[in-house]
Chain A
């Protein structure tokens, strides 16, 4: 149980185009999902918290107009990188929050490798 999928697993795009990444919780409902960015050999950097039916909460320094997040249902959140540039190239990972007893556990997707040419 507690499986999270991401699509696509990798994407290459030209500078100036927009890219959408989907995150789905396959066997549970997630009121809250998180989007992270990870650079090589570094830790996970939280970009934003996505709440079903409401606006996402962005971390300081993350451009909300560039990284659009939509949490349309209890099993789907999307991240759209608008007008992508080479510096947006990175590994993007989502997680879905599952309430288990008194604790909330985040289950991560497999990640999406974005390369902007």
Chain B
């Protein structure tokens, strides 16, 4: 029940396309859902986060869509660029408790 399932494991997108990464959870007590971007050899960097009281949040080219009834949330990267090529992790937490991370998605954006 503590798992966060992330898909796909890897994703190849053409420059300018839309990258979509999905995550699903079981624990309805989760109330905070951040997304992190990680480049090789670096620590994860916070991209965007959402709470379940909203269905969508947009920051620049990054959008989180949240479906509370389906217990799913997704990251959309609009106008994907080669510089977006990285590994993306979703996470979920309950209150101030520790994060449960997804397994990661390796995104490659072709020039």
Contact = CB atoms under 8 A, between A and B. Distances in A.
B110 interface: no
B51 to A, nearest CB: 6
Contacts, number: 55
Contact of B42 (A4, A34, A44, A111): A111
Interface string A106-117: 111111010000
Interface string B16-28: 0000000000000
A44 B101 contact: yes
Given A43-B89, A103-B51, A108 B41 contact: no
B34 A93 contact: no
B43 A109 contact: yes
Interface residues of B, number: 23
B69 interface: no
Given A43-B89, A43-B103, A44-B101, A102 B45 contact: no
Interface string B75-111: 0000000000000010001011011011110100000
Contact of A105 (B34, B42, B89): B34
What range describes how many residues of A lie at the interface?
Answer: 20 to 34
Contacts of B96: 32, 97, 99, 104
Interface string A79-117: 000000000000101010101001111111111010000
Nearest to B6: A43
Interface of A: 2, 4, 6, 32, 34, 41-44, 46, 49, 91, 93, 95, 97, 99, 102-111, 113
Given A44-B89, A103-B49, A106-B46, 10 more contacts: A2-B46, A91-B41, A102-B51, A103-B31, A104-B32, A105-B46, A105-B49, A108-B36, A108-B43, A110-B43
